[in-house]
Amino acid sequence: MGKIYVLKEPRRGDRAWNIYALREAARLKKWFQGVYYSPRLKRLLAVFKPTPGTHVNLEVFEEMNEGVLKDAFRMECPRGCNKCCVFRSGAFILENELRELPSNVAEKIMKQPSELIRTPGGWVRVYRLDTEPMGRCIFFDVEKGECTLEALGGKRFKPIVCLLTYCTVFATRNGEKYLKTGFRVLSDGRVEMHYKRVSDDEWNIMVRRMASTWLRYRKVYKSLKEAESRTSL
Ligand code: SF4
Ligand code: SF4
């Protein structure tokens, strides 16, 4: 079993630290393996596996043995839900992530409202992406129901915050599908999550249920577009 690096948990109420941690995580984006829930540790693990010799900032990462993932659930975001992108997405991207993007995309982002945050690792500019109606992300294609950044360049084009944030409803383990049935916050702040193995049908029913926010949004969006094109004739 090899070594993995797990991003330390965000600090409650310490935005500067959390942005610093995200910036360091973004540097290792191409080695991002996924987010897992460990029932043993009762915590979510954002896992990176950089090639040996890569510099890893141990202020924000902790080293673990890969064996910790043996009984862990992998968090999934099934295609077709889109809830996180369409309504109050809160999406943002950090300045160091722009380097990876094509220049026309980076230029579009640089026109977005932004904020400079003083972090323990220096100043970091954070660009808001949630500026479309009802907090929709500027990169969400409402009609197709997809992230245009991902469509353009795969996961490495997506903001690190989008790669790390999950609703935790959907999970897989050993090729089986699971849905969360409940959770309990323990006295030490850790969270015990419960998952139930489900069939493909049960999984798809849940995806459709979660997709209702996007589908309602898309209906209104399409009717507004049609009304706009009628008035411009
Ligand atoms: S609510 Fe869950 S499944 Fe839906 S888009 Fe967000 S993370 Fe993905
Ligand atoms: S960047 Fe992509 S994944 Fe992130 S909120 Fe926007 S559309 Fe969704």
Whether the predicted model's global pTM rises above the 0.85 cut = yes
pLDDT tens track for 141-189: 999 999 999 999 999 999 999 999 999 999 999 999 999 999 999 999 8
- CA nearest neighbour of 49 among 83, 6, 80, 4: 4
Residue 233: pLDDT band (50, 70, 90) is low
What percent of the chain clears pLDDT 90, i.e. is strictly above it?
94
Tell me which ligand sits closest to the C-alpha of residue 35. Answer: 1
pLDDT at 228: 84
CA distance 182 to 160: 27
Is the CB of residue 163 below 6 angstroms from any atom belonging to ligand 2?
Answer: no
In the predicted model, what is the mean pLDDT of residues 12-29? 97
Nearest CA to ligand 2 atom 4: 162
User: For ligand 2, is residue 34 a contact (CB within 6 Å)?
Assistant: no
Which residues does 160 contact at the CB level (< 8 Å), separation at least 6? 22, 25, 26, 29, 94, 97
Specify the residue for token string 């926010």.
213
- pLDDT tens sequence across 195-217: 999 999 999 999 999 999 999 99
Ligand 2 pocket test, candidate residues 126, 132, 137, 157, most atoms within 8 A of CB: 137
Predicted pLDDT of residue 203: 98
pLDDT for res 229: 83
| Angstrom distance (rounded) from CA 110 to CA 101 | 12
The mean pLDDT of the chain is 96
pLDDT at 145: 96
**CA 122 to centroid of ligand 1, rounded, Å:** 32
pLDDT > 70 fraction of the chain, expressed in percent and rounded:
100
The protein residue whose alpha carbon is closest to atom 6 in ligand 1 is 84
